[in-house]
Amino acid sequence: MGAVIPVGILGYEGQVIKEVRQDEATGKVTVLCRRDRRHRPVDSKNGRAGPINRWLRRTVRDIPLGGRPCEVEIEYAQVFLSPSCVRVEALPFVAPGTRATRRFARLVSGLCRHMPIDAVARHTGLSWHSVKALDAASLAETVVPPRPELLTGIRYLGVDEVARAKGHDYVTLVYDLTPGERCGRILWVKEGRDAATLLEFLDALSRECADGIEAVAIDMGLAYIAAVQKGLPSAAIVFDRFHVMQMFSKVIRDCRRAQFKEAKKLDDLTGQQTIKGSLWLLLSNRSTLKDSDQSRLDQLLAQNQPLATLYTLKEQLQRLWHQPTSSADMAARLDDWCGLATAARITGLAKFVKTLQSHRSGICAYADHQITTARLEAGNVSIGLLRRRARGFRDTAYLKLKIYQLNTPDTPSFLYANVPAPASATRMSTV
């Protein structure tokens, strides 16, 4: 069917709409365009126009028109610049390196933020590889990773690692933990989890920014500790409560497992029944439990002295982080706790106490710099969702883009006006 449609409505800059057709069998809409000769293609590198070598045609996918699948047949110029250089113009409404408009790429990318690629492929009728390519192309234009050399006003950092896929290669993540709107922003994503990986980021910081960093929250891994000590010698290292309590939970797990085996060895059916399925009770805060669960916990603690001791020590250990007045005060209370734990003579506690004492200064630094890795763990949960939706990532570059996307707020992607090319986009591309 023929139509006269102002080109500005559909946003095909540099094109003139000749005809709009609809396939009655499939419902697909095809927009036929020709190049608007008033728009001269220029070389984005030198701003000069070259003689047109020939005109080419290409079909690209666009967002649905009137609820129907839409394709656009466009015309673009191949420009002869020199005997050894021929370029084709990069139309501003077409996503670079794809056969889709920018807004369609944004639509696909928005769906990929919440759905697995194969689900988006089924939804849009595209191949798996096409969906990934469109998502990657859109992210490459819309996601701007922070540049370490340009960072300013950072007081606190958080460092953690995440696996590309379960049991596979790791990437190092650096978060901004400075209080304010930017708290939780991802500053750095890099393959590897050794000292050199983190040092690459720290060395890239300006001297002014590095000198302004007061503390870094990390786990007790030796590689990151060494990197911070070398790259930020004046910054304090803070070992978060989460990692300390995570290590202590392993002591509880091991003791509970040993107590269950002991009850089984003695044919103590009551003891087995009481211990079975009780791990979550031992690891939970009493205030979060229902009355029935609190009663079950009390029964367990009354019948099993080692588990009762560990539960009491867990509660006391958590209180170390409750409004400490100074690092010296927190250190004194930590020493008292270590004394009680040592006196309990429970398997695994001695090793745990030794670990606490060797990291004493970093644990107690929390009193002076009350930062935690809670925002890091929240970020890792989001990254875990990405990984599960994708069933792991083989393409590390794509994973990094998806992680940096977490810095940008989610926006509706089911409907777009014309999506303009970014200021940095080229007007021509080399063939």
What digits encode the pLDDT tens for the residues 113-171? 888 999 999 988 899 999 999 999 889 888 889 999 999 999 999 999 888 766 667 88
DSSP state of 325: S
| Highest mean pLDDT out of 44-48, 87-91, 101-105 | 101-105
How large is the angle between the packed helices 222-231 and 195-204, nearest 10 degrees?
30
At residue 95, the 3 state secondary structure works out as coil
- C-alpha distance from residue 281 to each of 269, 307, 419 (Å): 20, 11, 53
The rounded radius of gyration (Å) of the Cα atoms in the chain is 30
Three-state SS for 271-284 is: HHHHHCCCHHHHHC
- Whole-angstrom Cα distance, residue 162 to residue 228? 19
Q: How confident is the model at residue 232 (pLDDT cuts 50, 70, 90)?
A: very high
In whole numbers, what is the pLDDT of the chain averaged over residues?
86
359: Cβ contacts below 8 Å, ≥ 6 apart? 220, 239
* Confidence category of residue 420, pLDDT binned at 50, 70, 90: low
Q: Which two tokens stand for residue 55?
A: 């005109």
Q: What is the mean pLDDT of residues 277-297?
A: 91
- Strand 29-35 versus strand 185-191 pairing type: unpaired
Indicate whether 296 pLDDT > 50. yes
Phi and psi torsions of 204, nearest 5°: -80, -15
Q: Which amino acid is at 303?
A: Q
- Name the more confident of 6 and 281: 281
DSSP 8-state code for residue 101: B
Quick one: average pLDDT of 392-411? 84
Under the banding of pLDDT at 50, 70 and 90, the label for residue 333 is: very high
What pLDDT, on a 0 to 100 scale, did the predictor assign at position 52?
A: 82
Residue 154 backbone dihedrals phi, psi, to 5 degrees: -95, 125
User: 3-state secondary structure string, 8-19?
Assistant: HHHCCCCEEEEE
Nearest to 104 by CA among 76, 143, 67, 131: 131
Question: How far is Cα 154 from Cα 37, in angstroms, rounded to an integer?
Answer: 51
What class has domain 148-240+372-405?
Answer: alpha beta
Report residue 81 CA to chain centroid gap.
43
pLDDT of res. 204: 96
Q: So what's the pLDDT on residue 430?
A: 38
- Residue 166: the pLDDT is 67
Range among 307-311, 391-395, 422-426 with highest mean pLDDT value: 307-311
Is-contact 369 363, C-beta < 8 A? no
pLDDT surpasses 90 at 98? no
**Which band of pLDDT confidence, cut at 50, 70 and 90, is reported for residue 428?**
very low
Give yes or no for a contact between 350 and 342, defined as CB atoms under 8 angstroms apart.
yes
